[in-house]
Amino acid sequence: MQHLSKIGVLAVVILLSAITPFASAQVLTEAEVSWLQYMREEEKLARDVYLHFSELFPNAKIFANIAISEQAHMDAIKSLLVRYHVEDPAQTTGVGEFNIPEIDSLYKTLIAAESLVDALKAGVSIEETDIVDLEAAMAATTRLDIDRVYNNLLSGSFNHLEAFELNLLNLNGTGQKSRIGK
Ligand SMILES: [Fe+2]
């Protein structure tokens, strides 16, 4: 009996050693890696555009407030990049600097807004894009921890979208219902 239980323990040890390398390697698919890197840059885009507008329109507190939230979103993606040993595209870039050319050109377009109305509309556009991209990123992963982070960011984006739309409506009635809405 004792002999049998020793064999049992040995079998468990062999089984665990066979499973562990796969469990700890935490290898993501190419799509999961590129979405994580893209979303890290996209959250930075949101933060940096809102920081820009918070300086341009200091009385519109919405930009500084939401920039804080976007920093938290950046940090949430960063924790996934660290967990999965994925290179961080925003590791050394300053405010307004991006390594993904598409995001860099989007930043330049968005900060061209000169009026408060156009800045709020840029906010709407950022959040709508964020929602579409987060949903695509969620569809490209089966990992629960990544999905959970994306889902939290998605809730944040819906809240931000609503806040920008309300500000537009309050400003001068120029707000239009988002094509995504809530
Ligand atoms: Fe946002």
Region of residue 26 (phi > 0: left; psi between -120 and 50: alpha; otherwise: beta): left
State pTM to two decimals.
Answer: 0.81
Model pLDDT, residue 171: 85
Q: How far is the CA of 66 from the centre of ligand 1 (A)?
A: 7
Q: How far is the CA of 29 from the centre of ligand 1 (A)?
A: 26
Q: How far is the CA of 155 from the centre of ligand 1 (A)?
A: 9
| DSSP assigned state of 168 | H
55's tokens = 């300086």
CA Rg, the chain, in Å?
Answer: 22
What is d(CA 52, CA 78) in angstroms, rounded to the nearest whole number?
A: 22
- Three-class SS of 41-99: HHHHHHHHHHHHHHHHCCCCHHHHHHHHHHHHHHHHHHHHHHHCCCCCCCCCCCCCCCC
Domains in the chain (CATH in brackets) are 29-172 (1.20.1260.10)
Each residue's pLDDT tens digit in the chain (182 positions)?
A: 555 565 555 555 444 444 443 433 368 999 999 999 999 999 999 999 999 999 999 999 999 999 999 999 999 999 999 999 999 999 999 999 999 999 999 999 999 999 999 999 999 999 999 999 999 999 999 999 999 999 999 999 999 999 999 999 998 764 455 444 43
Q: How far is the CA of 99 from the centre of ligand 1 (A)?
A: 20
